[in-house]
Amino acid sequence: MADKKIRILIAKPGLDGHDRGAKVIARTLRDAGYEVIYTGLRQSPEQIVAAAISEDVDAIGISVLSGAHGYLFPRIIELLKEQNATDILLFGGGIIPDDDIPALKEAGVAEIFTPGAPLADITNFLSSRYAS
């Protein structure tokens, strides 16, 4: 059972159609050796969680630029709880005011990366979680 690969679902929930950031993250994680399941734009939290469960991922990363983070993150956490799947880590990034971050973490989001965060912060965060 040596070859356990870490699988990460990258998705873009909600209605804003700007997925450049999500693609950069997907590419970065690929280069760091992760298997990235990229599901693309305009995903509902229900679709994201259903895909994460079928794909048996270790983590979900979402990008939110629309200002709907206060709904989308907690909703995904809630759905993961319903599915008894809280071992799946949720992290994300986007335009999220610093003041909103504590509440998201309180809700169960593992980490939030805001604009300007170096890509290495994200890979370091993941490698500290999944050190082999």
Which residues of the shown chain bind another protein in the complex (CB under 8 A)?
A: 1-5, 7, 26-27, 29-40, 42-43, 46-47, 50-51, 53-56, 58, 83-85, 87-89, 129-131
In sequence order, the 6+-apart residues with CB closer than 8 A to the CB of 68 are 13, 14
Cβ at position 97, least distance to another protein in Å: 27
- Give the residue with the Cβ less far from another protein, 32 or 95: 32
- Give the residue with the Cβ less far from another protein, 82 or 114: 82
DSSP string for 65-120? -SSTHHHHHHHHHHHHHHTT-TTSEEEEEES--GGGHHHHHHHT--EEE-TT--HH
Cβ at position 26, least distance to another protein in Å: 5
